[in-house]
Amino acid sequence: MKFNKSKKLLVSLICVIAFNFSSNAQFENILAAGEKDLSKYIENYTDPLFKGAIQNLNSGWYHSGKTHKKFGFDFTINTSISIVNNEDKSFLFNNDDYQVLGLQSGNSANLPSLMGGNTTEQIQIRIPVDSNNTQIIFDHLNNLGIPVDQNNVPIPDFDGFLVATTFNAPNGIEEDLKDVSPIIGVPTPMIQFGLGLPSKTDIKIRFIPSVGNEEVKTNLIGIGLQHNLLQHFLKLDKVPVFDLSILGAFTSSTTNYTPLNSEIAGSNQETEIKINAYTIQLVGNANFKIVNFYAGLGYATGDATFKVKGNYEYNFDKFDAFGSFLSNESITITDPISTKFKVDKSIKATLGMRLNILWFKIFADYSIQEYNTVNAGIAFSFR
């Protein structure tokens, strides 16, 4: 199993999204769009990343419906990849949904999400024309040598807005992912430890130690309990081939990006991503010694927060209502992004197979959910 490759892909994903929002010139322009427009665009752009990550964290908790004997244990390494739906590789951008952001051409278009491809569409930041522009218009006419009476001259029609700047809509990373993975999806590698407790109950601890570099660091921790149900039914408990248990689990992940050399001037700049995932499932398996077939059915949900914190200095040229240059302005934007995501509770169905070679196990499974998930790994299990 290509665990190192998957870990590299995970860190690459984190770097890409953090770099995009903290050092990409396109997002420097979006930062100036205001909190409402900025949050809406980011929710649409990053939605498949967080959906996939949440559903990954609810995967890979088990590879058998049978629990350990008291003080039995297993050590598991696995990777889950949530496959992004084609429809979520892009999103509909509609000018009417934004206050200052708008397409240069047309009123709506499909733009790539983070997990999508490339685009040639351009976005404008538009300043609505209102009474604040009146004096600028009159000053411009006077500068042209046209004396005006401010009380009697109507304000010209400028289509309702002035264009502050135009920039290319951000691309997705689908082409980059193709270089390291045959599946266009969100990967999550995992290390997990399980220990048998009394009453045929396993406690499971999963973690990713802090990985990354000076700029990007991510960590993960999760806890789960798996309890054997057949022990409560005396006749069924004597059937050696079949097992049935119930699993409840919670996982939390935190990623921080602190740019060492940000291309946007400012201070205390940091990107923070927090993800929580929750699942409860019935787990069954048929044990044929060398081969196990296992299945799960239950519910999964989760939430995430995405924050860009610190001070960001944005420079732009100021024009009057006729498009004549007035001055170069600089503003400082503080904590520009604070966005929340939530995956609604949904049914999760899993089917998998495990190969048993004494205490060494190789397993793979497929889960049907909003983003179907492939999970595979190895385990060292001692009953």
What is the number of other CB atoms lying within 10 angstroms of the CB of residue 332? 11
For the record, the structure tokens of 236 come out as 């069924």
Domain boundaries, the chain: 3-92+187-382
* Contact indicator for 286, 293 with CB cutoff of 8 Å: yes
CB contact set of 27 (below 8 Å; sequence gap of 6+): 20, 21, 170
Beta pairing partners, 361: 356, 379
> In the chain, which ranges are continuous DSSP H helix?
3-23, 25-31, 35-57, 134-143, 174-178, 234-237
- In the prediction, which pLDDT does 303 show? 93
CA nearest neighbour of 363 among 352, 374, 350: 352
Give residue 185's pLDDT band: very low, low, confident or very high (50, 70, 90): confident
CA–CA separation, 42 and 81 (whole Å): 22
Give residue 322's pLDDT band: very low, low, confident or very high (50, 70, 90): low
pLDDT one-digit tens code per residue, 103-146: 888 889 999 998 888 889 888 776 655 444 444 544 544 554 44
For domain 3-92+187-382, the CATH class is mainly beta
- In the prediction, which pLDDT does 208 show? 80
pTM above 0.85, yes or no: no
Task: Give the CA dihedral 129, 131, 133, 136, nearest 10 degrees.
Answer: 160
CA–CA separation, 132 and 127 (whole Å): 11
Going edge to edge, which strands form the sheet with 122-128? 101-103, 122-128, 161-168
* 275-284 core/surface letters (b: 16 or more CB in 10 A; e: else): bbbbbbbebb
CA–CA separation, 186 and 80 (whole Å): 8
Q: How far is CA 375 from the centre of its chain?
A: 19
Higher pLDDT, 25 or 218: 218
pLDDT at 164 over 70: no
Give residue 374's pLDDT band: very low, low, confident or very high (50, 70, 90): very high
CA–CA separation, 337 and 39 (whole Å): 6
pLDDT one-digit tens code per residue, 213-239: 788 888 889 999 999 998 887 665 566
Give residue 5's pLDDT band: very low, low, confident or very high (50, 70, 90): very low
Mean pLDDT of the chain: 79
pLDDT at 37 over 90: no
Count the alpha carbons within 13 Å of 160 in the hemisphere toward its beta carbon.
3
pLDDT at 1 over 60: no
Mean pLDDT confidence for 180-200: 84
pLDDT one-digit tens code per residue, 261-311: 776 778 888 888 899 999 999 999 998 889 999 999 999 999 999 888 888
Higher pLDDT, 277 or 19: 277
- In the prediction, which pLDDT does 43 show? 86
- In the prediction, which pLDDT does 131 show? 44
pLDDT at 11 over 60: no
